[in-house]
Amino acid sequence: MRAEEATMSDEQPTAIEAYASTSGQLMTEASWLDAHFETCRPEYREMLRSVGIQTGWHVLDAGCGGGSFLPLISELVGPAGRIAALDLASDNIATVEQRVVAWGMPTPVDARVGSVLAPPYADDTFDAVWCAATSQYLTGTELATTLAEFRRVVRPGGLVTVKDVDGTAIGFVPAPTLIIAHLFEAMAERGNDQFAGCMRVQSLAQWLRRTGLGAVWQRTTLVERSAPLRAVERHYIGDGLSYFASIALPCDLPAVDHAIWGRLADAAERNRLFDDPGFSWREGHVTAVGIVP
């Protein structure tokens, strides 16, 4: 079985509550992450290839989820390289261990349960850290601690890379341009750390510089999907919109936004939206890279 086939299970949960892993964080369970990864696979591949990981390197996938990025990292480092996979959720690490065996990758993988706030590795262990879709869960204090830890475990001259979704660059047609940005901002103002983390993503390069990393660069990649959608895209986007609709009611939003979220709480309405030939979905992902001095 190819890696891209193994990442999607035959039966997907339909309730967004099912997408919390054992860490308790929403949208960190493997099947949700799989659907997101498969929706964005071509762009994710290019994002990872762009950061500068080299053949033979030892790479930490920090916040690895179900391990979807591991085969792509393996392609870069090859059989002479090594990969460490770290995640806070024990169920995700169990999934990674099973998948690594099924995939038969040429690169050895060491999977561990642990926190990005205190990675269980010695100083200068790695040539690079790849951290995807994880910074959004961290407070500002936690992000500063995490980046300092990444700098600690990466050798001088090695890379620290953080990739996350930009809450200001998600939207769909037909809908007001900023409908999702309004919701993310409102949730951040209500004290939700995850939504605040997504609204912080455009400043990731500044965070890397404050950590003391050098030669920092940042790039935004836009993922766009239009009707007709593949099944995995309908699944991922549909469950995302269902979740957003479920949290929108108590938020201080424009009346037109509330009206749209009220309609999209209904599965039949979401299906009608996806069947509209004019439907399109977009999301922006920021990749920020720095070199350890």
Q: Residue 29 — pLDDT band, cuts 50, 70, 90?
A: confident
The angle at the Cα of 282, spanning 276 to 288, to the nearest 5 degrees, equals 170
Residue 11 domain flag: no
Residue 4 domain flag: no
The residues, ordered by sequence, that sit 6+ positions from 85 with a Cβ below 8 Å of its Cβ are: 61, 64, 67, 70, 93, 96, 109, 110, 111, 112
CA–CA separation, 26 vs 9, rounded Å? 19
Q: Residue 194 — pLDDT band, cuts 50, 70, 90?
A: very high
* Contact present, 290 and 216 (Cβ < 8 Å): yes
Residue 39 domain flag: yes
pLDDT at 33: 86
Residue 99: its H or E element: helix 90-103
For residue 149, give its domain range.
Answer: 16-291
pLDDT exceeds cutoff 90 at 104: yes
CA–CA separation, 19 vs 136, rounded Å? 16
pLDDT (tens digit per residue) in 152-168: 999 999 999 999 999 99
Produce one character per residue of 149-167: b if its CB has 16 or more CB atoms within 10 Å, e if not: bbbebbeeebbbbbbbbbb
pLDDT at 16: 58
pLDDT at 31: 81
pLDDT at 78: 98
Task: List the beta strands (DSSP E) in 30-153.
Answer: 58-62, 82-87, 109-113, 126-132
Kindly state the average pLDDT of the residues 215-221: 98
pLDDT at 2: 33
Terminal Cα distance for the chain, rounded: 41
Residue 223: its H or E element: strand 214-226
Residue 219 domain flag: yes
Residue 9 domain flag: no
* Contact present, 29 and 18 (Cβ < 8 Å): yes
What average pLDDT does the structure give for the chain? 92
pLDDT at 21: 66
The residues, ordered by sequence, that sit 6+ positions from 103 with a Cβ below 8 Å of its Cβ are: 1, 3, 6, 70, 71
Distances, alpha carbon 34 to alpha carbons 55, 69, 233, in Å: 26, 10, 11
Residue type, 162: V
What total of structural domains would you count in the chain? 1
CA–CA separation, 29 vs 161, rounded Å? 22
| CATH, residue 266 | 3.40.50.150
The angle at the Cα of 223, spanning 134 to 102, to the nearest 5 degrees, equals 60
pLDDT (tens digit per residue) in 124-155: 999 999 999 999 999 999 999 999 999 999 99
CA–CA separation, 197 vs 205, rounded Å? 14
Residue 208 domain flag: yes
pLDDT at 152: 98
DSSP-assigned letter for residue 201: G
Kindly state the average pLDDT of the residues 201-230: 98
Kindly state the average pLDDT of the residues 10-29: 59
Residue 49 domain flag: yes
pLDDT at 32: 80
Residue 7 domain flag: no
pLDDT at 5: 32
